[in-house]
């Protein structure tokens, strides 16, 4: 029979393997804060900004009209469709409307796929049902993939949620950004892909940063002992 549940965990509990990452980052944040004039934090919170993907037609929101307009959507589609055309499986770079705008289609992510130029031109103003009428298997696959939840994009990494909360305790502003925004900022400034240059390009403040001739400080993360309450000797007896 099941035991009485007498072991409780605090809300937002993290397993030790993940909590270690949070504690290591906070430890270095304290060290840097102690010896530098650090006045803010920038944290990459999610891969994609679902607000930009779900409501791309919205107006009156400043970022919808800025340079990031469409960037989140394109980045998500490249990720979801592996950079391949939804119709033929070849390399695809065109953002394709399943239901054309001329027939009432929207710019919502649920109506968009990737396609190659040839398929884009062949489909024209037809709906996806009409275009794939003789290829029901392809139509079924596309519809199944389109029904897949945005949960993978919306889910916030648990360690980053902890980090945002703990970094705010420093009393300095904490800005957050998405991975697509980081990549956009880095590409706009012509920097090579690297972890430390990505870190410098996070958030709105990462749109204009100078990373050269800086050199990154490489930190090797080490273990902090053993959480095990009771070990064993070489014979397997409790020690």
**213 within a domain of the structure (yes/no):** no
Is 183 contained in some domain? yes
| pLDDT score of 209 | 94
Q: Does the residue 167 lie in any domain?
A: yes
* Nearest one of 113, 107, 115 to 53, comparing CA atoms: 107
pLDDT of residue 56: 57
Please state the domain count of the chain.
Answer: 1
pLDDT of residue 143: 87
Strand partners, 162: none
Residue 93 lies in a domain: yes
Q: What is the pLDDT of residue 63?
A: 44
The helix-helix angle for 158-168 and 16-35 (nearest 10°) equals 30
The answer to whether residues 205 and 42 touch, using CB atoms and an 8 Å cutoff, is: yes
Tell me if 194 sits within 8 A of 201, measured CB to CB: no
Residue stretches of the chain with pLDDT short of 50:
60-65, 153-156
- CA-nearest of 36, 31, 22, 74 to 52 is 74
pLDDT of residue 223: 67
Residue 203 included in any domain: no
Contact 178, 46 (CB under 8 A): yes
Contacts of 197 (CB under 8 A, 6+ apart): 186, 191, 211
Residue 24 lies in a domain: yes
* Residue in 92, 88, 81, 140 with CA at minimum distance from that of residue 116: 92
pLDDT at 64: 44
pLDDT of residue 189: 95
CB 44 within 8 A of CB 176: yes
**Residue 82: left if φ>0, alpha if ψ -120 to 50, beta else—which one?**
left
Q: Are 128 and 119 in contact (CB under 8 A)?
A: no
Residue 25 lies in a domain: yes
Reading the block at residue 41, the tokens are 């934090």
Nearest to 156 by CA among 165, 147, 148, 167: 165
Please give the pLDDT value at position 70.
65
β-pairing, 41-46 with 94-97?
A: unpaired
Q: Tell me phi and psi for residue 74, to 5 degrees.
A: -60, -45
- Mind listing the pLDDT tens digit for each residue in 196-227? 999 999 999 999 999 888 888 888 777 666 66
47 in any annotated domain: yes
Q: Distance between CA atoms of 86 and 95, rounded to whole angstroms?
A: 10
Domain coverage including residue 118:
12-189
């Amino acid at each position: 029979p099941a035991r009485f549940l007498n072991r409780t965990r605090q809300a937002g509990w993290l397993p030790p393997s993940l909590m270690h990452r949070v504690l290591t980052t906070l430890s270095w944040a304290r060290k840097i804060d102690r010896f530098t004039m650090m006045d803010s934090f920038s944290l990459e919170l999610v891969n994609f900004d679902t607000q930009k993907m779900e409501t791309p037609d919205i107006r009156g929101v400043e970022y919808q009209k800025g340079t990031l307009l469409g960037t989140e959507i394109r980045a998500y589609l490249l990720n979801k469709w592996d950079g391949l055309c939804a119709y033929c499986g070849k390399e695809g770079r065109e953002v394709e409307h399943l239901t054309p705008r001329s027939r009432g289609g929207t710019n919502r992510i649920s109506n968009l796929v990737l396609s190659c130029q040839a398929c884009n031109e062949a489909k024209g103003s037809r709906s996806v049902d009409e275009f794939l009428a003789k290829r029901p298997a392809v139509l079924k696959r596309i519809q199944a993939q389109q029904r897949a939840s945005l949960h993978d994009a919306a889910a916030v990494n648990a360690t980053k949620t902890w980090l945002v909360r703990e970094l705010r305790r420093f009393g300095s502003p904490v800005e957050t950004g998405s991975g697509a925004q980081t990549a956009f900022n880095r590409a706009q400034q012509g920097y090579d892909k690297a972890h430390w240059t990505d870190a410098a390009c996070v958030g709105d403040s990462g749109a204009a940063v100078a990373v050269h001739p800086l050199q990154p400080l490489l930190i090797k993360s080490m273990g902090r002992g053993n959480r095990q309450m009771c070990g064993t000797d070489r014979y397997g007896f409790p020690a």
